[in-house]
Copies of this chain bind each other. A is one copy, B any other.
Amino acid sequence: MARVNRQVILRNRPVGMVDSQTTELKEIPVDELSDGQALVKVLYLSIDPTIRGWMDDAPGYLPPIGIGEVIRAGGVGEVVESKSDRYKVGDIVSGLTGWQEYAVADDAMGSMSSLPEGIEIPVAMNVLGTTGVTAYAGLLEVGAMKEGDVVVVSGAAGATGSSVGQIARIKGASKIIGIAGGPEKCALLTDEMGFDAAIDYKAGHVARQLHELCPNGIDLYFDNVGGEILDAALANLAMKGRVVLCGAISGYNATDEVKGPANYFSLIINRGRMEGFIVLDYMARWPEIQAEMAGWLAEGKLKHSEHIVDGLENAVDALNLLFTGGNTGKVLVRL
């Protein structure tokens, strides 16, 4: 008897926030495996802001998701059938599974990789997955963080942001400031995650607070949000300051024209640099970075939290948490 695959497909391109019209839950039979393939039962989906970007019909670092196609997303699953030399039944593998119950791993495409052993899946998907590597590569490679730097990160209570602050601490930043929404998240940053200070962007003037906290300016600003917070950071850039562009969560659901950073001229006055990156470019260094992060995790230097939402049918709600600020830490959907 053929297995049934439940999939969430893109029905209409969203205008603003993703809603009930955007996606559709569909049931289709699982195809017979070809030689070199394995069937993966998805256990967890990684919910990342970039998924919202892929839903737009706009140029990006990957093509848009087509109408009728499964929503693209990273995930982790267990191999339940195999005609593959590479994947064995019982293996736990990670890759772009998409929002569905069953995904196919393919020897020829090398599409799935194994997870680090001995670490719970949600934790591995957070600090040892795309999220952790994004924080590491953005801060240390793109931002070229040096010992003694004053580091500011926005979206600081999110999965990437909280790792950025902690890696900055480990690598010897002199001051680490997180920007987040609400007193609970701010308290988490200073009380649990080792940030020196936190700014609640919903309460008070961000640029002024940055000026008070960083009287000599910001050496490295790690931007997850864009918009007015990016502008506030630019206004407080130190000489030779660096802005790492990781995301722009404030703009992903915009229906009006996105406003650019009006203070970009600060890059001239301060001989600053603003640079974007995509974590996929650091694939070759993944094992090395993962190993270093795993070491810190084992030593208890890397705090983390996962926000788990149950059920494929709730994936849209899980995605929207990222934009309403309803999450703390890494958002995952458990199937």
- Which A residues are within 8 Å of any B CB, using their own CB? 59-61, 226, 231, 245-248, 251, 257-278, 281
Contacts and interface: CB of A to CB of B under 8 A. Distances in A.
A301 to B, nearest CB: 29
Contacts of A245: 264-265, 267-268
Contacts of A61: 268-269
Given A272-B276, A273-B275, A274-B273, A263 B264 contact: no
Nearest to A50: B268
Given A271-B276, A271-B277, A262 B260 contact: yes
Nearest to A248: B265
A23 B59 CA distance: 49
* Top 5 closest pairs, chain A to chain B, by CB: A260-B260, A268-B276, A267-B276, A260-B261, A260-B262
B277 A268 contact: yes
A275 B268 CA distance: 7
A276 B281 contact: no
Contact of A275 (B274, B276, B278): B274
Nearest to A242: B275
Contacts of A267: 245, 274-276
22 contacts: A61-B269, A226-B265, A245-B264, A245-B265, A248-B268, A251-B265, A257-B262, A258-B262, A259-B262, A260-B260, A260-B261, A260-B262, A264-B274, A267-B274, A267-B276, A268-B277, A268-B278, A269-B276, A269-B278, A271-B277, A271-B278, A273-B273
A258 B268 CA distance: 15
Given A269-B276, A275-B273, A278-B271, A260 B251 contact: no
Contacts of A258: 262, 265
A278 to B, nearest CB: 6
A269 B59 contact: yes
A254 to B, nearest CB: 10
A245 B246 CA distance: 21
Contacts of A281: 271
Residue among A261, A272, A274, A277 with the highest chain B CB neighbour number at 10 A? A274
Contacts of A259: 259-260, 262
B257 A260 contact: no
A231 B260 contact: yes
Contacts of A270: 276
A257 B264 CA distance: 13
A326 B169 CA distance: 53
A262 B257 CA distance: 8
A285 to B, nearest CB: 15
Contacts of A269: 59-61, 276, 278
Residue among A246, A259, A268 with the highest chain B CB neighbour number at 10 A? A268
Nearest to A277: B271
A260 B268 contact: no
